[in-house]
Amino acid sequence: MRLALFDLDHTLIPFDSGTVFTRHLIACGALDANFEPRYLEYCRRYAEGRVDMVEMHRFTVGALAVHPPARLERWLCEFEPVIASLVPDASHELVRAHRQAGDACVLVTATTRFVAQAFARVLGLDEVLATEPAVDARGHYSGEVVGEPCFREHKRTHVEGWLARRGATWHDVERCWFYSDSINDLPLLSAVSDPVVVNPDPLLEAHARERGWPIRRISRSAGASTRCDALP
């Protein structure tokens, strides 16, 4: 078995998925305009490696608890054309190259599942490991998390759970790539045979250079025609 694991924000997409979705929800009237600056503060703390993901999830997803999931799904469907216009061509090419090589391709992201799945559909990724949102007695998203958020060391355990559901372990993986931009993903990057950093934050870039890990740049302009390097 060969795996290609992909982080989402600032890796396959040159922006934060939550920020773009937040702006979409504000435009739909689902969130108040003053929600965005508070969300961006969480993003800043995330970039610094000091965010509490459960607390962040309660804030972001909990704000949607008043809306039925069916309404949220409609907004997500309306959001997909926006996503499609923002994903760089190089990201599509990278995923396509792994799929054509016969690698199992999995999105592994701290983003909540319902947002991550919208991006996965646009990127052509069938398998998604993400933070699982809990629902309340009404069937609305509560803001709580089912299990551990797909973040830091728990990204590795989510991957191991995915393998176990297929009757496999790391020993059955011949080769595994993981593409990420963030120092938060160091536990999973250190676990795979082929760690690749993409548009890395300063801490991860320094770590990658010390260890000779490949560093890739995917254009931060939407719809960029810049091609990723050929797969090894």
103 is catalytic: no
89 is catalytic: no
Active-site entry in 7, 103, 181, 201: 7
Task: State the distance between the two ends of the chain, measured CA to CA, in whole angstroms.
Answer: 16
From the CB of residue 84, how many other CB atoms can be counted at a distance below 10 Å? Answer: 15
What is the arrangement of strands in the sheet containing 127-135, beginning at the earlier edge strand? 141-146, 127-135, 104-112, 2-6, 175-180, 194-198, 215-216
Q: Which of 214, 206, 209, 189 is nearest to 108 (CA)?
A: 189
Q: Which of 210, 206, 205, 171 is nearest to 191 (CA)?
A: 171
From the CA atom positions of the chain, what is the Rg in Å?
17
For residue 126, CA distances in Å to 7, 77, 86, 89, 170 come to 14, 17, 20, 18, 21
Kindly list the catalytic residues.
Answer: 7, 9
